[in-house]
Amino acid sequence: MAIETPWSTSYPGAQDTPGSEQPDLTKDSAPDVKDGDRVLDSHPEALRDKLQALAVKVGDDGDLPAGSHAAKITALEVAPPAHAHLEADIADLDHFDATAVHTDEVSEIATLADEASPADTDLFIMERAGDGAKRKVEAQNLPGGAGLGVTVLLDLDFTAEATQNLITGGDGNKTIGGKTFYVDNTGNATKFAVTNGVGLEMDHDATNTSVFGTTRTGLIAGIRLTDLGIDFQDLSFVRVWMIFSHNVDQDFEHVQLGFERKHIGGFVGATWHYWAGARSFESGQRWSGAFVNVNGVGSDGVDTTDLLNDDVMMVKLYSAGTFEFYTGVSTGGNFPSAGDMRLRNRGQFSDDEAMRMTDASEMAAWIATKTSNTNGNLETTVTRMKVDAK
């Protein structure tokens, strides 16, 4: 029986049933009998449209419509052409890392912040000579070493000590903070005392004093390095620090910090002083001869503005005879780190002077004040003193 009703050829749903909604393509039994299926022209047209839509979506060997699955698969199978990528191909390439350490750049390490007091567990990078492998190594494990750290030998907060009049009993040894200090020239002081809550007070009378000559008349408070349990000859360097305040405002008024050879003569130190209407910082030494002013900062008759707020001085003395002078600013009554101190100057002893220094058994860290005027108004207060060494 011929089927003349067009079938739906629905896709992707259920298809028309052959022999029912769509022909089963049974032939006529004889010409013109017309007892087989009759196919309308709409039937192959519907099939054609469906095949066209499918070909567009899938593609075939003869055609690769844009976006078809066949076109996409073919694009993946085709190898891209060889290309040597150049930095010029990327216009915004910034390939230099300014914070990295490079093997082909000079003077990079020199620009880094200084670490003046490395700890034993600080790390270094090394490259083994045998195989070139990179390794880390602790400072304390470097050759020669019982560590690279700085040892604090004295850190004395004068403000926390009991009140003690150092003039009582005259010159000589005084116990402060459990340590033996020596004080000299107490007869030239209106006040020379440790005052609880205030600090070490050193106030001059109207006497013209000095600590530069062989006869010292200024106020001096010192502590021998041997009393701190060290031998200077075994050290790389030793430093003395102090936090202080003063009223230096007259010519020839000096507040000094440094090292001396007690009973032998000679010192190296830094000086806060007033001269020609300005406060300034000087450093000098008198070891085997006359006083030598190593250099002055702000000694041109104009206040050195970057010194006016500095309340910390530090003198660093190397066993080889080199000495350095620093200033800085305390925070909350505490010393700044060595890296925050500002180097003001350095000097060098001659060979014979350095030898005398290392041979001296009376090396001492000292604080001194002097005045060459007769105003009697120089007042200095030291709140804290520290001695450390390496």
- 16 and 42 Cβ atoms separated by less than 8 Å: no
Q: Which residue has the higher pLDDT, 100 or 166?
A: 166
Is residue 89 over pLDDT 90? no
pLDDT 10s digits, 107-159: 777 777 877 667 767 788 888 777 888 888 777 666 544 345 678 899 999 99
**What pLDDT sits at residue 67?**
74
- 21 and 4 Cβ atoms separated by less than 8 Å: no
Q: Which residue has the higher pLDDT, 89 or 193?
A: 193
Please tell me what DSSP assigns to residue 269.
Answer: E
Question: How far are the Cα atoms of 81, 97, 164 from residue 85, in angstroms, in the given order?
Answer: 12, 21, 80
Residue written as tokens 């500095």? 310
Q: Which residue has the higher pLDDT, 363 or 307?
A: 363
pLDDT, average across residues 43-53: 76
Bridge pairing between strands 134-138 and 123-127 = antiparallel
- 326 and 343 Cβ atoms separated by less than 8 Å: yes
Q: Nearest Cα to 261, choosing from 301, 312, 214, 323?
A: 214
Split at pLDDT 50, 70, 90, the class of 297 is very low
- Largest Cα separation within the chain, whole Å, is 152
Is residue 188 over pLDDT 60? yes
> 3, exposed or middle or buried, with CB in 10 Å at 0-12, 13-18, 19+?
buried
Tokens of 47: 């099939």
Please tell me what DSSP assigns to residue 28.
Answer: P
Helices (H) and strands (E) in the chain, counts: 3, 19
Is residue 294 over pLDDT 60? no
Alpha-carbon distance of 239 to 220, in angstroms, equals 18
Is residue 257 over pLDDT 70? yes
Output the pTM of the full model. 0.61
pLDDT, average across residues 282-303: 50
Alpha-carbon distance of 307 to 304, in angstroms, equals 5
**What pLDDT sits at residue 124?**
80
Helix (H) or strand (E) holding 345: strand 342-348
SS3 state of residue 45: helix
Q: Nearest Cα to 232, choosing from 201, 266, 199, 260?
A: 260
Residue type, 334: N
pLDDT, average across residues 378-383: 90
Is residue 181 over pLDDT 90? yes
pLDDT, average across residues 278-306: 53
**What pLDDT sits at residue 270?**
80
Split at pLDDT 50, 70, 90, the class of 84 is low
Q: Which residue has the higher pLDDT, 359 or 311?
A: 311
**What pLDDT sits at residue 345?**
78
Is residue 5 over pLDDT 80? no
Residue ranges, comma separated, of all CATH 2.60.120.200 domains in the chain are: 151-389
**What pLDDT sits at residue 298?**
39
∠ at Cα 114 (326, 101), nearest 5°?
160
∠ at Cα 123 (117, 127), nearest 5°?
130
Residue written as tokens 């698969």? 73
Q: Per CATH, which fold does 151-389 belong to?
A: Jelly Rolls (2.60.120)
